[in-house]
Structure 1
Amino acid sequence: MKRWRVKDESEGKLTSSELIVMAAKQIATHSGTFHADEALAVFMLQQLNEYKDALIVRTRDEAAIAAANIVVDVGGIYDFLRARFDHHQRGFNETFDANHSTKLSSAGLIYKHFGLRVIAAVLAWDLDHPRLNQVHAKVYDDFVEGFDGVDNGISQYPADLRPKYRDGTSISSRVAKLNPWWNQESNDAVLFNSFLKAVALTGEEFTERVKYTALAWIPAREIVETGLTSRKSVHPSGKIIAFDQFCPWKEHLHILESEHSIPEAEVPLYIIYPDETKKWRIQAVPQSPESFVSRKALPEAWRGIRDSALSELSEIPGCIFVHASGFIGGNLTRDGALAMAIKSLE
């Protein structure tokens, strides 16, 4: 058993309140205003067996920092062997890997060194699980890199207007709002309790992102890859993909086209798939996953026309609609949606 007392930084002495906790180890981070990166770093460490019962110490006292078993976001040292993970010191330029240029925060540092084990713990996977490395890389790109970019003050949109990193949850600003207002009471105890809320918030969203990536994103990729590689059985041009069920496909398709070296003349233009009502959709492939511009929109003459009028105009039975912008349409049957795609190729 260890006895931990909250330190009053402003007076430089211990308060009378004491917390008695069971803790074999200590995780140290800085006191005062907290941020999203160290909150997530602490949560990730808590998923590991060696730190799951560790005491969180928020301090800037050098002796307390030196006594901790692992230190994040304070101390001015990055040294994996010494379990020191600060990123504020002069000359620090560590990135996740050679393919990334975003400087790491404490969250990125912990994820870089412990992320595989953290993900395995969250998913109850073995470390040799065949999908583990893929989930690790994807979660960094979609979630953790945003913590690094925001905490290091890196512009998300540089000169070319392509986002340097993703920040789909704006979680750093929500963590910041958990700090006391400027005109509210603020002391070590208040900040510590608020910091625990930040750890829980970042941890909940991290866990959700890991599970989504492993259990939804990767299975969708497998569906898209099967559709891409078998597309010429749908139409000899290779420009139409048919899915037997809906799944998120845009990002996967663009990635897989590159991985499979699909020639420009054979890139898919249309996707057909069943919707939630068992009717069928035809969707034009966008120029990029985020783009609203289609590679080849559905025929202009069909746009904004519905039902029997559209069937008569297109000479295809079962038509339901074509959106006014031509990016999507519907038909009662798979054969009807396929016929719409084939005629749209002309």
Structure 2
Amino acid sequence: MALKIGTHNGQFHCDEVLACFMLKQLPDYKDSSILRTRDPVELDKCDIVVDVGGVYDPAKNRFDHHQRSFGETFCSLDPSKPWTIKLSSAGLVYVHFGKQIIDSVLRKYSLEDDKLVNILYDKIYEQFIREIDAIDNGVEIAETKKYDITTNLSSRVSYFNPAWNQDDLDENAQFQLACDYVGKEFEDKIKYYAMVWWPARTYVEKAVKSRHDVDESGAVIRLERAVPWKSHLFDLEKELNIPKEEIKYVVSLDRVSQTYRVICVPVADNSFVNRLSLPADWRGLRDQELSDKASIADCIFVHANGFIGGNKTYEGALKMLQKALEMSNIKKIKL
């Protein structure tokens, strides 16, 4: 007999939608029906209940976070983890079942790797679930916001709810559409980190370890391919005890144009602040005007914000870095 998942009816949010989808990735719940009700008698008949009922009790498969006494975070439930955002129902399900859920998704793509499961368990929380926890619990992204983000997953899920003038829409059918929508994004995120992000680690590690062959100062790494590198770089700096400010730039080949990109290393992943931006006098210039200003042949551009530039050749890209480092009194680069 198939198990039953319980959640509340009425307006739904991203957290319980995702919680239900994640549970259905588990072998025990893959054929489960979802009962949407607030009737405690009916909820007691369910095998697991999320986002309703006023109870958090893993032993009884109860995962609500709305009760006044609830204040759990990933860190409070697992002190080895750093995240201190209050958990939503999605976060609760993820903390307790996340590794099994990731393993089930990876197996769909013939990926069976315990090490990868553990790596993705942290990565998916940090880069996906945590945002949903924060939004559902009303945690602002910053103390002072310069603009609103209205295209996040939680916002998009809200539009699946029947509007005030859409009486002909079936609420349960809309909930299922939201589950499918959120589920695809969740699986796509796991696939990206498993199949694109994680394999890039080898390229970044090789570039970091050989950086002094490019530049005596260790300020530049050269990537053989344009791979996702930022989070790997920051992790490797910790693992290899590299001073945090030592690596300033990344050089990589643009596979479309077959020219070289010079990219500034930010102070943190997803930050717009650079450890060392390209010279202010170059910013916003292109082609011959930039080459004349920098006294370097084959320049293509430097972005107006100084975080990226380009040159037609590898040698030209390195000369751009040489000049940039010299202008900041870092003079150890060699070609």
The TM tier, using the shorter chain, reads 0.7 to 0.9
1:309 deviates by 4.7
Q: 1:184 to 1:119 in 2, by over 3 A?
A: same
Alignment partner of 1:278 is 2:271: no
Deviations 1:216-271 (A, max 9, x none): 2222333223222221111110001111111232343334334433225x611221
Say how many residue pairs are matched: 316
1:127 deviates by 6.6
1:238 — aligned with what?
218
1:105 — aligned with what?
88
1:315 deviates by 4.2
Distance in 1 separating the partners of 2:15 and 2:284: 48
Alignment partner of 1:269 is 2:248: yes
Residue number among 236, 248, 260 corresponding to 1:256 in the alignment: 236
1:304 deviates by 4.1
1:115 — aligned with what?
98
Q: Give the alignment's TM-score, normalised by structure 2.
A: 0.86
Alignment partner of 1:178 is 2:160: yes
The answer to whether the 8 A contact 1:245-1:273 is kept is yes
Structure 1 unaligned runs (5+)? Answer: 1-22
Q: Secondary structure at the match of 1:145?
A: helix
Distance in 1 separating the partners of 2:163 and 2:283: 52
Q: 1:248 to 1:88 in 2, by over 3 A?
A: same
Q: Secondary structure at the match of 2:251?
A: strand
Give, as a single letter, the amino acid of the residue that structure 1 aligns with 2:65. Answer: H
Residue number among 22, 27, 51 corresponding to 1:44 in the alignment: 22
The answer to whether the 8 A contact 2:106-2:112 is kept is no
Deviations 1:146-195 (A, max 9, x none): 22112222222247x79xxxx89512122222111123327xx8211111
Question: Highest CA radius of gyration, 1 or 2?
Answer: 1
Q: Secondary structure at the match of 1:87?
A: coil
Structure 2 unaligned runs (5+)? Answer: 327-335
Distance in 1 separating the partners of 2:5 and 2:192: 28
Give, as a single letter, the amino acid of the residue that structure 2 aligns with 1:269. Answer: K
Q: Cα RMSD (Å) of the superposition?
A: 2.5
1:291 deviates by 3.6
Give, as a single letter, the amino acid of the residue that structure 2 aligns with 1:137. Answer: D
Deviations 1:278-328 (A, max 9, x none): 111112223333343433232344444443454455443332233344332
Q: Secondary structure at the match of 2:49?
A: strand
Distance in 2 separating the partners of 1:284 and 1:146: 27
Alignment partner of 1:33 is 2:15: no
Superposed counterparts of 1:5-16, under 5 Å:
none
2:267 — aligned with what?
287
Q: Secondary structure at the match of 2:93?
A: helix
Distance in 2 separating the partners of 1:57 and 1:278: 55
1:141 — aligned with what?
126
Deviations 1:59-116 (A, max 9, x none): 1122211111111111222122211111122311121233121111111111111111
Runs of 4+ in 1 over 6 A off after TM superposition: none
Q: Secondary structure at the match of 2:199?
A: helix
The answer to whether the 8 A contact 2:203-2:224 is kept is no
Q: 1:226 to 1:195 in 2, by over 3 A?
A: same
Distance in 2 separating the partners of 1:316 and 1:263: 30
1:193 — aligned with what?
173
1:126 deviates by 6.9
1:211 — aligned with what?
191
1:77 — aligned with what?
55
Distance in 1 separating the partners of 2:25 and 2:305: 47
1:215 deviates by 1.4
Give, as a single letter, the amino acid of the residue that structure 2 aligns with 1:292. Answer: F
Q: 1:32 to 1:243 in 2, by over 3 A?
A: same
Q: 1:228 to 1:89 in 2, by over 3 A?
A: same
1:320 — aligned with what?
300
